[in-house]
């Protein structure tokens, strides 16, 4: 490829103009364009089948259209998402488009533009007189998209899309003004690390810059929190933004080596990032003498083999060096002596993704978003019992209540909210009374939770908080590297005590043990995995102590979730004669017909899976759940065989 | 390390030491005992993993591991505050909760560092407060050509991994698995484990604080003695 000449900004202008033309040609194309969200989440929801459905329907109907694969918009509840750009219409976004719906869209809309299929439509991406726009929905209106602005709208595998949207402009400006300037901008913006701890990125960079050795910059894409996928989405949906941020960071610290550490469980992210690096090299945005500035940088991709602890900086470095991923004590901090003893900066995907926007718009602009001490936006993957799960980007400082109720539509199925778990497995469970807490690094820490990398689990009234604590402790124990005593053995004891409580064998004095071990693990552990692992235990003990007591003293699970402490029975008043729905679904044949031809559950055989609750037709809704199990009323149930008239006894 | 000598205060006692030396050995030299399991004096980069040597340093918000805390002029250290004693006790209780406590038939009996630390901390070797953890491993793993490994005794201090890594013929011992299942394995992290053989130096058996690693030969002799004694005991009453 022929490279332009001149200063970095001039060279980029040439690249940007060419990209702009290419994208504009696509926009003006007389052929409709179908964009299908094909990030990992979209694929899991069936996006590839949707594409096949479109291809088949287009061929069958003799319609010409171009299918493009884009990234993820973050609206998981609506996957697979499809955007159709049909000449004469604004770009229209459709939800839950499977192969069948794809066929309908082709026949009714793409064929002749007659019916834009309102039944599948979310809205128009641009303001329009005839269509509702996305901004009419609270989910879009209240979000503030800085990092995710382009996600799901551009083709992540085509660098032109990113360039046309103003991509790499920040890099060109940074190259022209120099690394020192980039560092000062990021420092002035007070960009705090989005990986969890919230350490100011600029200060970290400054430390590395002051060490006179080859410096290394690593992008930490080892996202491992259960239910969190912000980093994956950014890597898959807008890889060039992360890459631009990484190059800018490299420039700011004067790095000679740059690496992506992406977990091997994210094969698509690895593939897309490798393509992005190749495309950037081709345009001299990477490699030798970037845009004629004299700055040289090569970027590699390293696949981490899936240990949660490798998200911890020192463990990540150990894993990169070919060793077992085990954290090491600090100091020395990686910023001073990290990979191969060289000053090493490790930044989260989200942190680096924010950098280009700061450089493009200036630090004053960044301070206008968010709070004074936590400027900018936060990205959460909102999961659990919520109406609209998915990725949400909000300005720092909004309250949890606003995020859960207004933006994400509140709790599913009209149930009551019980708690939100924020900050991943080492975050805290906050009760409804703390929903007014503002989302920023400091406020969350104050109430015993943490920002973490951005996992947010919504729990409804049917969630047992002891079980939640057990689940997360089980996760951290299983992922503990086993190096230090507190984390390896302490979290094991926590898990065992919690387990015994959930099966009704807990002892009241063990609550003290839980507290003592938890505080000791926090104080004594070597790395932040251990130092935060007891957070779910401590916060549930603090805010939901009554549930612990109910389990221990009354052998009762208030949420009726713990199997050993609950039982199912069928309310004979509600049960319908002749209906066999529950019988068919029971995996252990525990349900039998009673003498008056209704159904009952043999408690001996029941494994409390709860299938019958779902199988029972809603008009009867006869299956009841009680805790403790002794609460099952005596309904005088007789099996059909041994009923009246039969003398046979077993 | 600079040759500058600094003065620090440990538990109210003023002591002098070269600046930058690790605090733990400095204290030990001045007869201030701080328990530890993972530390060896020849280590340049102590792993700080057993967490028994935590101390309080004035001005620092959290306890620090003294084995890798460099000595600085005017440092005020407390090794016996209530908080430190508590943390040590909990750490020790956690350690012994995984231990089978069969001291009488253990090759390290009376030379075991866990026993020494128990004495120092006035803690029993079998904890009553916490449930005993029976790790899901056999009593003995004997698939190594010269070593016997008793995983249920192992406190995972990592000393063996360290001394093995110092062997010029390349190292074989390393940690394996995660969480409570963490164990010492004989295959190291070299790319081709088969290419490197155990140097047979038995350095790991010498530094094991609890006798979880021993040479097969010595172990067999010890077990023969134990059996003999048990036989004699049985015969006495009759």
A294-321 as b/e, with b when 16 or more CB fall inside 10 Å? ebebebebbbbeebbbbbbbbbbbbbbe
Question: Would you call A507 an interface residue with chain B, using a CB distance cutoff of 8 Å?
Answer: no
CA distance B63 to chain A (A): 7
CB-closest option in A328, A480, A524 to B54: A524
Mean pLDDT, residues A234-259: 96
Instruction: State yes or no: pLDDT of A11 exceeds 90.
Output: yes
B54 belongs to a structural domain: yes
Indicate whether B1 pLDDT > 90. no
**Per-residue pLDDT tens digits for B163-178:** 988 887 766 788 999 9
Domain ranges for chain A, please list them.
Answer: 31-136, 159-368, 377-463, 466-553, 566-631
Higher pLDDT, A638 or B75: B75
Q: What are the distances in angstroms from CA A268 to CA A76, A236, A380?
A: 18, 7, 21
Question: Is B221 a residue whose pLDDT tops 70?
Answer: yes
> At residue B195, does pLDDT exceed 90?
no
For residue A488, which of B18, B181, B153 has the smallest C-alpha distance?
Answer: B181
Domain that includes residue B209, residue range: 103-235
CA distance B235 to chain A (A): 41
Matching residue, tokens 């500035």: A293
Q: Does B25 touch chain A (CB under 8 A)?
A: no
Prior bond to A628 cis, omega within 30? yes
Residue among A445, A492, A508 with most chain B CBs within 10 A, to mutate? A492
Could you tell me if B225 and B133 lie in one domain? yes
- Residue B115's Cβ-count burial label (10 Å; 0-12, 13-18, 19+) is middle
Residues of B with Cβ-Cβ distance to A480 under 8 angstroms = 178-180, 182
By the CB < 8 Å criterion, does B177 face chain A? yes
- Model pLDDT, residue B233: 87
Phi, psi (deg, nearest 5) at residue B3: -90, 0
- Check residue A643 and give its pLDDT: 46
pLDDT at A287 over 90: yes
Q: What is the distance in angstroms between the Cα of B218 and the nearest Cα belonging to chain A? A: 28
Strands (E), A170-264: 215-221, 255-263
Instruction: Give the pLDDT confidence score for residue A520 in this predicted structure.
Output: 97
Residues B124 and B200 in one domain: yes
Q: Which CATH code is given to the segment(s) A159-368?
A: 3.40.50.11540
Determine the distance from the C-alpha atom of residue A479 to the mean position of all C-alpha atoms in its chain, rounded to a whole number: 19
B145 and B230 within one domain:
yes
Q: Is the peptide bond before A331 cis (omega within 30 degrees of 0)?
A: yes
Residue B196: its pLDDT value, please? 55
Residue A275 has pLDDT above 80, yes or no: yes
Fold of domain A466-553: de novo design (two linked rop proteins) (1.20.1440)
pLDDT value at residue A650: 39
Confidence of residue A646 (pLDDT cuts 50, 70, 90): very low
Cβ of residue B158 closer than 8 Å to a chain A Cβ:
yes
Let me know whether B13 and B119 are in one domain.
no
Q: Do B18 and B111 fall within a single domain?
A: no
**Distance in Å, alpha carbon of A244 to nearest chain B alpha carbon:** 34
Look at B98 and A489 and tell me if their CB atoms are within 8 Å: yes
Q: Do B172 and B75 share a structural domain? A: no
| Two tokens, residue A39 | 């990030």
Q: Which of residues 80-139 of B touch A (CB under 8 A)?
A: 83, 86-87, 90-91, 94-95, 97-98, 129-131, 133
Does the residue B122 lie in any domain? yes
Place of tokens 């900050």: A423
Q: Does A499 touch chain B (CB under 8 A)?
A: no
Show residues of chain A in contact with B97, CB under 8 Å. 489, 493
Select from B65, B87, B179 the Cβ nearest to the Cβ of A480. Answer: B179
Mean confidence (pLDDT) of chain A: 93
**Domain count of the fold of chain B:** 2
Check CB contact under 8 Å for A493 and B86.
no
B131 → closest Cβ in A323, A485, A496: A496
Do residues B119 and B175 share a domain? Answer: yes
> What percentage of chain A reaches a pLDDT higher than 70?
98
Which residue bears the tokens 């006798």? Answer: B211
Nearest CB among A478, A484, A497 relative to B51 is that of A484
Asked if pLDDT for residue A647 goes beyond 50, the answer is no
Question: CA A77, CA A571: separation in Å to the nearest integer?
Answer: 35
Spatial distance between the Cα atoms of B27 and A251, rounded to a whole number of angstroms: 45
Q: Is the per-residue pLDDT at B237 higher than 70?
A: no
Strands B183-185 and B5-10 come out as unpaired
Mean of all residue pLDDT scores within chain B: 90
Q: Give residue-wise pLDDT tens across range B144-167.
A: 888 899 999 999 999 999 998 888
Q: Check if CATH label 2.60.40.60 holds for domain A377-463.
A: no
Tell me the per-residue pLDDT of B93-142, one tens digit each, with 9 for 90 and over: 999 999 877 898 899 999 999 999 999 999 999 888 888 999 999 999 88
The yes-or-no verdict on residue B191 having pLDDT over 50 is no
Q: What is the distance in angstroms between the Cα of A483 and the nearest Cα belonging to chain B?
A: 6
Task: Using the predicted structure, report yes or no on whether residue B192 has a pLDDT greater than 90.
Answer: no
Inform me whether the C-beta atom of residue A107 falls under 8 Å from chain B C-beta atoms: no
pLDDT over 70 (residue A642): no
A16-30, A40-54, A550-564, B191-205: least confidently modelled range:
B191-205
How close does chain B come to A159, measured CA to CA in Å?
38
Considering the domain architecture, whether residues B114 and B74 belong to the same structural domain is answered as: no
CA distance B16 to A401: 57
| pLDDT of res. A640 | 83
- Whether B112 and B221 share a structural domain: yes
Check pLDDT > 60 for residue A649: no
Chain A nearest-CA distance from B16, in A, is 23
The chain A residue lying nearest B178, using CA atoms, is A481
Whether pLDDT at A451 is above 70:
yes
Q: In the structure encoding, which two tokens stand for residue A390, read together?
A: 């998915």
B183, B114: one domain: yes
- In the predicted model, what is the mean pLDDT of residues B224-232? 91
Task: Decide which of B48, B80, B112 is a domain's last residue.
Answer: B80
Q: CA-to-CA distance for B213 and B152, rounded, in angstroms?
A: 11
Q: What does the pLDDT read at residue B170?
A: 64
Count of helices and strands (H, E) across chain A: 26, 18
What local confidence, expressed as pLDDT, does residue B238 receive?
55
Higher pLDDT, A649 or B184: B184
Q: Is the CB of B91 less than 8 angstroms away from the CB of A481? A: no
State yes or no: pLDDT of A648 exceeds 50.
no
B115 and B41: one domain?
A: no
Instruction: Classify domain A566-631 by CATH number.
Output: 3.30.70.20
- Can you read off the two tokens belonging to residue A648? 């046979």
Residue B235: the pLDDT is 85
Residue A120's pLDDT is 96
Please report, rounded to a whole number, the percentage of residues in chain A having pLDDT higher than 90: 86
- The predicted pLDDT at position A525 comes to 96
CATH number where B161 lies? 3.30.70.20
Q: pLDDT tens digit string along B13-45?
A: 999 999 999 999 999 999 999 999 999 999 999
- CB contacts of A322 in chain B (<8 Å) are 189, 191
Domain A31-136: what homologous superfamily? Glutaredoxin (3.40.30.10)
Q: Is A341 on the interface with B (CB under 8 A)?
A: no
Residues 6+ apart with CB under 8 A from A339: A216, A218, A257, A317, A320, A321
User: Across the A/B interface, how many CB contacts are shorter than 8 Å?
Assistant: 107
**Contact residues, chain A, for B45 at CB < 8 Å:** 328
The C-alpha of A477 sits at a distance from chain B's nearest C-alpha, in angstroms, of: 5
């Amino acid at each position: 490829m022929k490279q332009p000449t001149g200063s970095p900004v001039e060279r980029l202008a040439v690249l940007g103009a060419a990209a702009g033309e290419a994208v504009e040609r696509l926009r003006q194309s007389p052929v409709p364009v179908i964009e299908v969200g094909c990030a990992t989440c979209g694929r899991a929801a069936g996006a590839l089948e949707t594409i096949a459905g479109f291809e088949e329907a287009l061929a069958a109907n003799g319609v010409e259209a171009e299918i493009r694969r884009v990234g993820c918009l973050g609206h998981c509840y609506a996957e697979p998402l499809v955007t159709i750009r049909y000449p004469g219409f604004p770009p229209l976004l459709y939800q839950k488009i499977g192969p069948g719906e794809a066929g309908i869209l082709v026949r009714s809309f793409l064929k002749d533009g007659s019916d834009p299929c309102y039944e599948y439509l979310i809205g128009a991406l641009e303001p329009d007189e005839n269509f509702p726009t996305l901004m009419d929905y609270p989910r879009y209106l209240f979000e503030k998209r800085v990092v995710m602005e382009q996600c799901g709208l551009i083709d992540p595998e085509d660098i032109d899309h990113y360039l046309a949207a103003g991509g790499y402009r920040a890099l060109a400006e940074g190259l022209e003004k120099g690394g020192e300037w980039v560092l000062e901008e990021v420092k002035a913006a007070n960009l705090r690390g989005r990986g969890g701890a919230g350490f100011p990125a600029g200060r970290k960079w400054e430390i590395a810059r002051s060490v006179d050795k080859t410096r290394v910059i690593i992008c930490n894409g080892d996202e491992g929190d259960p239910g969190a996928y912000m980093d994956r989405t950014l890597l898959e949906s807008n890889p060039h933004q992360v890459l631009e941020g990484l190059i800018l960071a490299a420039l700011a610290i004067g790095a000679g080596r740059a690496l992506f550490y992406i977990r091997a469980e994210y094969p698509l992210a690895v593939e897309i990032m490798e393509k992005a690096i190749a495309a950037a090299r081709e345009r001299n945005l990477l490699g030798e003498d970037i845009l004629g500035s004299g700055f040289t940088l090569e970027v590699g991709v390293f696949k981490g083999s899936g240990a949660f602890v490798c998200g911890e900086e020192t463990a990540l470095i150990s894993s990169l060096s070919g060793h077992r991923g085990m954290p090491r004590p600090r100091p020395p901090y990686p910023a001073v002596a990290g990979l191969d003893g060289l000053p090493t900066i490790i930044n989260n995907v989200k942190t680096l993704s924010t950098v280009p926007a700061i450089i493009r718009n200036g630090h004053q602009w960044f301070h206008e978003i968010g709070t004074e001490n936590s400027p900018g936006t936060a990205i959460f993957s909102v999961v659990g019992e919520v109406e609209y799960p998915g990725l949400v980007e909000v300005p720092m400082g909004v309250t949890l209540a606003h995020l859960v109720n207004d933006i994400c539509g509140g709790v599913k199925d009209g149930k009551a909210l019980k708690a939100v778990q924020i900050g991943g497995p080492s975050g805290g469970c906050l009760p409804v009374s703390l929903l007014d807490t503002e989302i920023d690094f400091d406020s969350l820490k104050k109430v015993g939770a943490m920002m973490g990398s951005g996992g947010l689990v919504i729990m409804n009234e049917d969630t047992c908080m002891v079980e939640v604590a057990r689940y997360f402790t089980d996760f951290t124990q299983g992922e503990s590297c086993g190096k230090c005593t507190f984390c390896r053995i302490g979290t094991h004891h926590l898990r065992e005590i919690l387990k015994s409580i959930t099966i009704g064998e807990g002892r009241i004095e063990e609550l003290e043990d839980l507290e003592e071990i938890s505080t000791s693990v926090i104080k004594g552990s070597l790395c932040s995995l251990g130092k935060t692992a007891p957070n779910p235990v401590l916060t549930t003990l603090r805010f939901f102590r009554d549930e612990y007591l109910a389990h221990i003293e009354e052998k009762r699970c208030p949420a009726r979730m713990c199997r050993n402490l609950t039982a199912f029975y069928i309310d004979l008043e509600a049960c319908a004669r002749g209906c066999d729905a529950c019988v068919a679904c029971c995996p252990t044949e525990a349900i039998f017909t009673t003498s008056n031809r209704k159904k009952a559950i043999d408690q001996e055989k029941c494994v409390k899976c709860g299938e019958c609750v779902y199988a029972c037709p809603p008009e009867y809704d006869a299956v009841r759940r009680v805790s403790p199990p002794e609460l099952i009323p005596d309904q005088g149930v007789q099996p059909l065989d041994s009923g009246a008239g039969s003398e046979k006894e077993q | 390390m600079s040759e500058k000598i600094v003065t620090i205060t440990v538990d109210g006692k003023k002591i002098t030491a070269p600046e930058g030396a690790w605090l733990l050995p400095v204290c030990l030299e001045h007869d201030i005992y701080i328990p530890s399991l993972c530390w060896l004096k020849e280590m340049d980069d102590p792993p700080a993993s057993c967490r028994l040597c935590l101390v309080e340093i004035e001005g620092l918000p959290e306890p620090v591991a003294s084995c890798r805390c460099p000595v600085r002029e005017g440092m005020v250290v407390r090794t016996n505050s209530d908080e430190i004693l508590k943390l040590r006790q909990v750490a020790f209780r956690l350690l012994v909760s995984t231990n089978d406590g069969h001291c009488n038939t253990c090759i390290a009996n009376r030379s075991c560092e866990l026993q020494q630390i128990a004495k120092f901390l006035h803690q029993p070797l079998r904890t009553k407060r916490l449930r005993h953890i029976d790790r899901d491993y056999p009593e003995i793993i004997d698939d190594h050509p010269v070593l016997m490994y008793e995983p249920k005794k192992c406190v995972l201090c990592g000393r063996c991994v360290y001394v093995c890594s110092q062997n010029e013929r390349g190292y074989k011992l390393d940690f394996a698995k995660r969480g409570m299942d963490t164990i010492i394995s004989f295959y190291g992290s070299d790319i081709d484990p088969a290419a490197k053989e155990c140097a047979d130096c038995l350095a790991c058996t010498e530094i094991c604080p609890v006798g979880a690693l021993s040479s097969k030969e010595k172990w067999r002799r010890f077990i023969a003695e134990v059996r003999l004694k048990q036989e004699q005991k049985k015969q006495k009453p009759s």
